[in-house]
Every structure is written in structure tokens, then in C-alpha cells.
Structure 1
Amino acid sequence: MMPETAEAVVLAETWFSPALNRAKRVHVVLPADHRDGRSYPVLFLLHGYGGDRGTWLRNTGLLRHAAALGLIVVLPESGRRWFINDHQGYRYEDYLVHELVPAVDRAFPVHGGRAGRGIAGFSMGGAAAVFQALRHPSVFAAAASLGGAFGAPLRAGDPYAAHRGEPGLLMPTVASHERVWGAPGSATRLGYHPGELLDRYDRSLPVGLYVDVGADDYDRVLRMNRRMREALRERGIEHEYHERPGGHDWAYVAGALPPALDFVRRRLAPAASETRP
């Protein structure tokens, strides 16, 4: 049984992915009145490392927040594959951008254009959301990252070695990381290098960018988010940046998610009378 409130419903959809050569399931959060003839803005919300399509539903008040903002929210999953076209040939970026986005446009009352479409995520998903928005500004008009792992393409060795004995640590080992990203200097890493993506930023298709991190997050994560802020400032790219109390956990996300959703919602076209046949 999917979670449901008086304000929102959750549907499970399954579509075959040619890019991945397998069927993929997603959860879709809809306003309870989504059959009222209006088209809605849509947010693709990406989970963190090792998560799945149910992670946000189990750990946050997403249903309440999305309903209050009049958002349709799509919850895909990539396990530990980072939502990218990776070193081992898994094409999660192609699936997300070129298959799932149009499938959602066809199946649900969304605006169906970049003006009404955003992407966001936590940790792995936060970095992936910003990377994909920068790589595909004609698809996404806004991107929000919570505790984003922006340094993933630059990582060498195991910067979390000192934390390996801590319960609940969900950071990839060297072997797991390099299965996705390849060794340092790989073509995959270069394709998602944050500095390179920002250097190629298309100012004719501005993306609303929101970066948020917990002040008590892992030192590496806090530093990489601050570096992203500085990189955006140096290039004169408009963005919002926030540090708030919290670590790399769901308690932090509970406080960070509502303002991030509000940012995305303000950057997207509002719900409107349906014009599609």
C-alpha cells in the first residue's frame, strides 16, 4: 500500500528502460486534486547513496510539503550508481533525462516543459541533481542540493576511512566508487567535473541553483559545498547557498527540505489550466 494523505497520493509506475535494458519502477507523488484539469510543476527528487525510490517517503514529510506547494514529485532510483552514465556502462543519466522525463510528461498532468520542471536530491542525489541540471539546462529550470557530494568526480582514495567504523555510514569504499566513476582522471570523471560544468554554463538557459549543507556534516562534505559556492560566485552564476544546523542525516534533511522545495517551487511555472488535448 502506497502512503497517502488527504492532500496527496502516491502511485507506483513501471516503465521499461531501453538505456538500462530493464523495467524500472518509480513512485510519483500527486496532489489529491490532480484530476482537476490543471497542469502542475514537477520535481524529480533523487535519493542518496544506497537509497531507493521509497527513501524520501520513509524518512521525510515529503507528502505534506509537496501537497502544500502543489508539486508533482517523481522518485526514481539508481541504487549506488549516482544517476549518471557511469564507468561500467550503466546509463542512468540517459534513463532519467531522455526516458523518464518524457514518460512522466505523457502520463501525468505536468507542464511538459523546462519552465515547470526541477530536480533535487540529498548527498549523492544532491550532487547528481545539480550535475544533470547543468548538463541539461533545456530540461530543468531549477536544481536544489542538500548535503551534495560535489567532490565525487575528484575523489582519490578513501577520504572517509576514519569513519568506517561508525554505524550508519553510507559513503562508498574506493572499490565501489571506482566501479561507478573509474580511476582518477577517467573520462567519466571529466564529464561530470563540477568546474568544467560551471565553465560551460549556458547563461541563455539560466538554472535556479540552490545549495544547502549541514554545518556539522562531514568536514569533506562541508568543504566541497563551500567550494561549490565559491565556484559559483567566481563565475557570477546566480544561486542561493545556506548552511544550517545538522549533519549528514535525516534530521538535517527534515529542516532543509521545506526551504529547498519552496525555492524550487518559486522558480517553476505555477499550476495552470490544462491546455493539452
Structure 2
Amino acid sequence: MYHFKKKLIGLLIGILCISSVNSQIDTLLVYSKTMQKNIPNLIITPDNSSGYKKPVLYLLHGANGNYTEWLKHVPALQEYAKKFDIIIVCPDGGITSWYFDSPIDTKMQYETYISKELIEAIDSKYKTITEKKGRAITGLSMGGHGALYLAFKHQDIWGATGSMSGGVDIRPFPNNWDISKRLGTYPKNKDAWEENTIINLVYLLDGNLKIIFDCGTNDFFYQVNKNLHKKLLERNIAHDYIERPGGHDWNYWSNAIKYQLTYFNDYFKK
């Protein structure tokens, strides 16, 4: 009897430990009519069975990455989804889409895909809060640019946004990361570059969008992030800006996401 009770207690403890850690992970294929292809997206949902609608964080990857990058490098996202009781959506944004609707490449229409096609798919399949008070978007590097870009242009969809080590001004990098393949070369397509860089979209803000962004002091995007912070201060646009030692790597981002999740959690609860 003693050994039976001991085994039973051990089994119950094991079950409790599994249920306390696990979140559900789905790969959702969404067909983009705009780009005429199926696009994979990784979805992390809390493992509780409550029926109420949950807020959603859209989490974007960087250049040369894909929809699996975040979970591969930060497996703690499963714990964070449960801790904050949110759904985390990691879309595939192409290797170097920059999350634009490219004016020169019809196969790169990721602004329309994420802000319309993906949103509709997520809201139809999962129990989500379908208003901007229940949506936030952030990302790293190219994804940091993408998150601010999409949120600045679609403030009716997202109520909060963030960026980690984001390319918040693309103009100093005319020959990098295939940006010229999306917008054309800077000398011949200056207007497209000027109209699609984050720092020039600040005029769209009216103070209602919640914003947090950060960058490591050893990052090649450090100066452009400082410039964005300065411009937001000049415009009296409320935001949280963090700079700390660090480079353009997963050591930095795995730490940064914890701060941003706390920020977004406060927003969702309000």
C-alpha cells in the first residue's frame, strides 16, 4: 500500500508539472489571395481550457529568419503565453520582405497579408479579442521595423506596438538586406524609401498608440533607434525607450522580449 501511494503521488506530481509548463503549439497555414500562396504561421496558445477571448501578440522575425525562429531561440515563449494568458502568433514574413507591400514585387505584399489576411484567419480560428485593445505587435531587427511600420499605418488594428533592435530608419542602409529589391534602388526610388521608413511615419501618430522599443548600445541599429526616440520626444509622443549593453543577437532579444511582454500585459489589462 505504501509503494502504491508513493507511485500515485509521483504520478500526480508529474501530471501537474506537465500541465503547468505546456502550451499548445500549432502551425497554421493561411492562404494569401494577394500573393497567391500558403504561408505558415506558428501559434502558441495557453494550455488552459477557459472559454473567454484572449489578447494576441503578433511577434515578427528578422531578416533571413522564418516563423519558427522565435520559439527555436526562446522556448520560454510557451511559459510566457501561459503566464500572461495570451495567444502568440509568429508569422512567416519571408526572408527579406521588410513587411512592406512592395511597389515593385507582387510576390512581396506582407503588409496586406499580416494586417488583413492573417488577422482575419486568426480571429476566425481562435477565441481572440477582435478589437485593437486586444492586439499588440512587436519584432526584432527587420521585424522591429515591420511591427512599428504596420502599427503606425494601421492604428485601427493594433493598440500597442514594439521593436527590439529594429531597423527603424532604412535609409542609411541602401545596399543591405535586399531592401532595394523591395523598394528599388534609393537613387532611382527616393520617394519610396522616404515614405516607407519608420522615422518618417511619426506624423501618423496621435498619441493613442502605445509604443515600446529598445536597442543594444553595441548594435548597428543603435543610432537610428536613438534618432527615433529623439524625434518622438520632439513631437511629444508618449513612448517607452530602453537602451542597454548588448548587440544584435539572441542573447539580447531573449532578454528584451520579457520587458516587452510585461509592457503589453499592462496594456491588455487596462
TM-score (norm 1): 0.84
Say which of 45, 59, 74 aligns to 1:45.
59
Q: More relative contact order in 1 or in 2 (CA 8 Å, sep 6+)?
A: 1
1:200 is aligned to 204
The total of aligned residue pairs comes to 246
Work out whether 1:88 is the aligned partner of 2:105: yes
Tell me the SS of whatever aligns to 1:120: strand
Residues 269 and 51 from structure 1, CA distance in 2 versus in 1: closer, same or farther, beyond 3 angstroms? same
Identity %: 26
TM-superposed CA distance for 1:85, in Å, is 0.5
1:73 is aligned to 88
Residues 157 and 190 from structure 1, CA distance in 2 versus in 1: closer, same or farther, beyond 3 angstroms? closer
Tell me the SS of whatever aligns to 2:63: coil
2:30 is aligned to 15
Tell me the SS of whatever aligns to 2:72: helix
Q: Is the CA contact 2:132–2:158 (under 8 Å) kept in the aligned structure 1?
A: yes
Residues 261 and 12 from structure 1, CA distance in 2 versus in 1: closer, same or farther, beyond 3 angstroms? same
Q: Is the CA contact 1:215–1:247 (under 8 Å) kept in the aligned structure 2?
A: yes
Q: Which whole-Å CA distance do the structure 2 matches of 1:80 and 1:139 have between them?
A: 24
- For residues 13-70 of structure 1, the C-alpha deviation after alignment (integer angstroms, 9 at most, x for no partner) is 112110111111111000001x311111101100000110100011012222222111
2:180 is aligned to 178
TM-superposed CA distance for 1:259, in Å, is 0.5
2:217 is aligned to 215
TM-superposed CA distance for 1:157, in Å, is 4.2
2:265 is aligned to 265
RMSD after superposition = 1.7
Q: Which whole-Å CA distance do the structure 1 matches of 2:37 and 2:174 have between them?
A: 32
Unpaired runs of 5+ in structure 1? 159-170, 271-277
Q: Is the CA contact 2:59–2:138 (under 8 Å) kept in the aligned structure 1?
A: yes
Work out whether 1:227 is the aligned partner of 2:232: no
Say which of 133, 139, 158 aligns to 1:121.
139
- For residues 85-141 of structure 1, the C-alpha deviation after alignment (integer angstroms, 9 at most, x for no partner) is 013232110000011011111110111111100100000001110111000000000
- For residues 158-186 of structure 1, the C-alpha deviation after alignment (integer angstroms, 9 at most, x for no partner) is 4xxxxxxxxxxxx62xxx22101222244
Letter aligned with residue 70 of structure 2:
W
Q: Which whole-Å CA distance do the structure 2 matches of 1:251 and 1:5 have between them?
A: 26
Tell me the SS of whatever aligns to 2:201: helix
1:273 is aligned to none
Alignment of 1:236-275 (within 5 A): 236-269=236-269
Q: Which whole-Å CA distance do the structure 2 matches of 1:242 and 1:125 have between them?
A: 17
- For residues 133-153 of structure 1, the C-alpha deviation after alignment (integer angstroms, 9 at most, x for no partner) is 00000000000100001121x
Q: Which whole-Å CA distance do the structure 2 matches of 1:48 and 1:92 have between them?
A: 14
Q: Which whole-Å CA distance do the structure 1 matches of 2:215 and 2:91 have between them?
A: 22
Q: Which has the higher helix share?
A: 2
Tell me the SS of whatever aligns to 2:124: helix
Unpaired runs of 5+ in structure 2? 1-18
TM-score (norm 2): 0.86
Residues 116 and 157 from structure 1, CA distance in 2 versus in 1: closer, same or farther, beyond 3 angstroms? closer
Q: Is the CA contact 1:137–1:202 (under 8 Å) kept in the aligned structure 2?
A: no
TM-superposed CA distance for 1:5, in Å, is 7.5
Tell me the SS of whatever aligns to 1:32: coil
Tell me the SS of whatever aligns to 1:27: strand
